[in-house]
Structure 1
Amino acid sequence: MKKVKIIFLLIMVVFLFGCSKDNVNIDAELEKAILQEEDLSPKSGGKVNISVVEFKTLNPLLNNEKSLDQALKLVYDSLFVVDENYNIKPKLVDKYTLSQDGMSLSINLKDNILWHDGTSLTSQDVQFTINLLKTLDKSTYKSLVENVSRVEVLSDTSFNIVFKDSYSFSLENFIFPILPKNRLAGLSNEDMTLYSNNLIGSGMYKIDKYEKRKYIDLVRNEDYYDKKPYIDKVRLVIVPDKEAQESMIISLETDICKIDKIISGEFPAKRFDINNYTGNEYEFVALNFDNQYIQDINFRKALLYSIDRKKILKDVYLNNGDLVEFPLNKKSKYYNKELETVKYDVDKAKKYLSKINLDEVQFRVVVNQENFERLKEAYLIKTSLSDVGIDAQIIELSGEELTNAINNKDYDLALLGWTLPIVPDPRFNFYNDFTNYNDDNVNILIQKLISSNSESERIQNYNELEKYVSKNIPFISLLVKDKNLVLNNKIKGKLDSNEFNIYNGFENIYVSE
């Protein structure tokens, strides 16, 4: 790709000659302009520094430090990966077939996949990893294999995964790193944590050197089976905490860092680029269905139309997010694109309120006093509700007090947020401690969805559930927040970051000279 820089010829021509009839024809002069071309074609080479917070083990299945988990995705590959829209796509997998009854998954691996020691990655490695993961109670990935009954090896590159139950999101579960059997088989759990036993992966980078509590050096895997990265070397600088990570990107000691909150002027454009990507933090209003008014669909509709979500997105989150009608990434293939974004409408809200015999009652809205953004949400919502005739009392609580209020149903509305799971199973939205909404139709639609076998059927059933929820309003969706990745602007190209892997698309970036 070449980025063309146009010299200031046009400006100079206008400045010197003005616009009279006697002036030189500007178009003719522009044709003679010399265009300076800066060659920004991707080049191999260069080094990038990123930071990871101190960790206890390099074993990617036993590690619990998220920043290291993200970085190790450069070293270890998985059967499937999550793209920037949180949809699943094959990685180590060449072909796959889910049986018609959803009880088994047949997989063929890609050819010529090598471990970093030069041996072949085989079906036996996948079988070993899944069986190992079942025994690792402390692994953050363990829940992903709970539905696996067994792995049947057919050849070095083909195998069947047999499930205990049919489950619509089976593919989404296979996003954990695959480990080499020949390196780890027979080791105790304690030995599996030793760094010396965890230096071999199958990813685009190899571990070249590890200095405990200092750094991990990665080098490009020249035998990589997939697209090779442009960048030669990556250093993982080990730091004590998140604050140190942010300090190091500001001081240019590292080149890429996820930043929770961007302060104006902190990252000047002459040194940094800020990439926003869709996160998985969902904001919503929980409703207590013990309240007789909330049980009335007309009141819930009045609430929905009286909350100015667009203003919340703009004033609280500076438009860094997406308004959603369901707890799901708006770009997901499962998101119902036909759902109309509900707009703030005082007249509609009052219309629905007129159908209710609303006594003089004050609704208790609980919120975490330690969450500044959510506090701002609360008072914006209070004002909006007041405009349509609903009296709301904001009750600011500590985290522990808020949890108790939710558990004891001591609220009418609650401003909450949750982290959307990577596996887009919608059950967590309804079967939890703070939702006391009971609807047999929802249960039927969810069961229908999680029993879907084909992708088209799954999308259709997901859309039916979303449509039903949008009409019946068991909770009020607000938005899904964006996240920020700060990069030293010597890095060119584009990362396709998501919350599961902020380095997704690392093979597409390069270092400019």
Structure 2
Amino acid sequence: MSRTPSSRRSRHLALIGALATSAVVLSACTGTASDSTPKPSGTPDPDATLTVGLVLEPTNLDIRHTSGAALEQVLIDNVYEGLVTRTQDNTIEPRLASDYEISPDGLTYTFTLNDGIVFHDGDALTAADVVDSYTTVQSDDTVQGHAEFAGVTEVAAPDEKTVEITLAEPNQNFLFALTGPAGLVFQADDDTDLMSAENGTGPFTLNRWTKGSSITLDRFDDYWGTKAGVAEVVLQYIPDFTAGVNAALDGSLDVLTAVDPNLAPQLEDAGTFTITEGRTTDKATLAFNNAKAPLDDPKVREALRLAIDHEGLVEAVGAGETLYGPIPELDPGYEDLSELAPYDPTRAKELLAEAGQEDLELTLTIPSFYGTTVAQVLISDFAKVGVTLEVDRVEFATWLEDVYSNHDYDLSFVLHVEPRDFANFANPDYYFGYDNAEVQDLYQQALAELDPEKSAALLAEAARIVSEDHAADWLYNGTTLTALVPGVSGFPEESINSRIDLAGVTKAAE
């Protein structure tokens, strides 16, 4: 990734929020703002209602059985909690657990629960609820996170305040997995219909869900931790980007997430909004079908990468940062790999000639909900090196069947949003079709390594090999823009495409 101090301020990312939610079904530090962080114009009002504009609405609220960033974005840490959580920069920290210990051999995780935790129905949470929740994840393959619990051999509660999880072998990613849906704690034997209701432990309860319009959360006054800063949050779903900006301009919203950079000037010109820019783990991935000719030839893959003007593409998209490998800056193992795919159309032509592919014709299969900018840039860049690119825009369900499941494609574009998803390149059965035994071995070593820094070094080594093999192209690392009215403070800036912790947000009295 190349970054200069001014680049984060001058580049705005084309709207990614809607794309991120769809892409998430594939799995898997403080940000610099374009303006100063908003400061309240008055004293925070504990009785305030905060209205937040979002892009893609969940299809249901059952986060135990339904994947998607739309659910994680609004439910994790707000309505449901796990033993641990992660900060905006993906640092792991305790949540329901007051602290935790990992045994020297990396096999036993011991968590101590905080005092006074209750579910929203008023029942106290005990270690037995955690054991029941995690045993369900371990045993039920329909539950989100089941695969991440494959190495769990036992979940036990020595007493009401202690939970012990035992693994068959060390797993550097296991604690991080507990920050996602796999680690959420539900009440044992609860009969709540999670499709439309909830019974979590978080700082907010579900007031109502008006399908097709909004989700309203109320502050949970019996919350065990620090109470939420506002009494109510209305999550307003506005999938039309222009309509979102108009709603912000007419005063209907306090916060608009995933602002389209092409429309951001309208908010900036209004003079009443602060626009913040935050990093994400969104990887705009140009997938190569490594198992299908001619993409099974590394010379062809390298040629395609060298043909792409990544800096120009980022400018055309509107924001983001260049990314030349499978690991973004917020994940362990990130390394600047820009030297592996410099813009060099002359060398691209030479490689295609060496591969006997001077008149190459390829098809790019892309979900129809993506904009046209990326495809147009690729068509233009590839044409300059003699490659004809046909674009096949399909419904996402078709993409899932044809590309993801059946691997029937040449090139594809999708936004991979999940953090720490390098495992995709260590899985030869994944739709990339990339099969490298050394990468697979390094990834397993990284998981088994107890020292986080050594584990990250192994991941970096594996990621370099993947990029040297040109297993895919990473067009850019997404950033996200958020607009806030004066008086709103504490709204998260980074990683909000997948998680928005609302408890610390305040709104000043008008």
**Aligning the two structures, in what range does the TM-score lie when normalised by the shorter sequence?**
0.7 to 0.9
Is the CA contact (8 Å cut-off) linking 1:496 and 1:504 kept in structure 2? no
- 1:343 maps to a residue whose letter is P
Deviation at 1:67, TM superposition (A): 4.5
Query: Normalization by structure 2: what TM-score?
Result: 0.74
- 1:477 maps to a residue whose letter is W
Whether 1:234 aligns to 2:229 is no
Is the CA contact (8 Å cut-off) linking 1:494 and 1:508 kept in structure 2? yes
Partner of 1:440: 437
Is the CA contact (8 Å cut-off) linking 2:42 and 2:508 kept in structure 1? no
Partner of 1:13: none
Distance 1:420 1:328, change over 3 A: farther
Distance 1:284 1:114, change over 3 A: closer
Q: How many residues align?
A: 458
Alignment of 1:258-337 (within 5 A): 258-259=257-258, 261=260, 263-264=262-263, 267=267, 269-289=270-290, 294=295, 297-315=298-316, 317-318=317-318, 320-337=319-336
Q: Name the structure, 1 or 2, with higher relative contact order (CA <8 Å, separation 6+).
A: 2
Is the CA contact (8 Å cut-off) linking 2:98 and 2:113 kept in structure 1? yes
Partner of 1:173: 177
Distance 2:209 2:343 in 1: 56
Whether 1:98 aligns to 2:102 is yes
Whether 1:458 aligns to 2:458 is no
Distance 1:88 1:500, change over 3 A: farther
Distance 1:475 1:69, change over 3 A: closer
Distance 1:205 1:465, change over 3 A: same
Deviation at 1:458, TM superposition (A): 1.5
Give the superposed CA RMSD: 4.1
Distance 1:415 1:211 in 2: 35
Distance 1:296 1:54 in 2: 41
Is the CA contact (8 Å cut-off) linking 2:172 and 2:455 kept in structure 1? yes
Match of 1:48 among 22, 40, 50: 50
Distance 1:64 1:409 in 2: 21
Deviation at 1:48, TM superposition (A): 1.3
Deviation at 1:498, TM superposition (A): 1.8
Match of 1:75, SS state, is coil
Deviations 1:78-118 (A, max 9, x none): 22223323343332233333344443322223455455566
Is the CA contact (8 Å cut-off) linking 2:362 and 2:388 kept in structure 1? yes
Flag structure 1 segments of 5+ consecutive residues without an equivalent. Answer: 1-37
Deviation at 1:282, TM superposition (A): 2.4
- 1:335 maps to a residue whose letter is Y
Partner of 1:368: 366
Is the CA contact (8 Å cut-off) linking 2:137 and 2:144 kept in structure 1? no
Is the CA contact (8 Å cut-off) linking 2:280 and 2:494 kept in structure 1? no
Distance 1:467 1:377 in 2: 25
Match of 1:391 among 360, 383, 386: 386
Deviation at 1:416, TM superposition (A): 1.5
Distance 2:450 2:414 in 1: 31
Deviations 1:386-423 (A, max 9, x none): 54xx3211212242787647878776x51422423345
Match of 1:321, SS state, is coil
Whether 1:414 aligns to 2:411 is yes
Deviations 1:149-202 (A, max 9, x none): 331112232221123554331112212364463xxx3345xx544978x45x43
Deviation at 1:71, TM superposition (A): 3.1
Match of 2:468 among 440, 451, 471: 471
- 1:218 maps to a residue whose letter is D
Partner of 1:71: 74
- 2:189 maps to a residue whose letter is G
Match of 2:329, SS state, is coil
Flag structure 2 segments of 5+ consecutive residues without an equivalent. Answer: 1-38
Partner of 1:127: 131
Distance 1:274 1:432, change over 3 A: farther
Distance 2:438 2:248 in 1: 50
Partner of 2:218: 218
Query: Normalization by structure 1: what TM-score?
Result: 0.73
Is the CA contact (8 Å cut-off) linking 1:367 and 1:394 kept in structure 2? no
Aligned-residue identity in percent = 16
Deviation at 1:463, TM superposition (A): 1.0
Partner of 2:64: 61
Q: Based on CA coordinates, which of the two structures has the bigger radius of gyration?
A: 1
Is the CA contact (8 Å cut-off) linking 2:40 and 2:486 kept in structure 1? no
Partner of 1:29: none
More displaced 10-residue stretch of structure 1: 437-446 or 45-54:
45-54
Alignment of 1:147-226 (within 5 A): 147-175=151-179, 176=181, 178-179=184-185, 181=187, 185-188=188-191, 191-193=192-194, 198-199=198-199, 201-206=200-205, 210=208, 216-219=216-219, 221=221, 224-225=224-225
- 2:325 maps to a residue whose letter is F
Match of 1:507 among 477, 484, 504: 504
Partner of 1:431: 428
Distance 1:151 1:357, change over 3 A: closer
Distance 2:327 2:382 in 1: 26
Match of 1:48, SS state, is strand
Distance 1:395 1:338 in 2: 29
Distance 2:215 2:404 in 1: 44
Match of 1:154, SS state, is strand
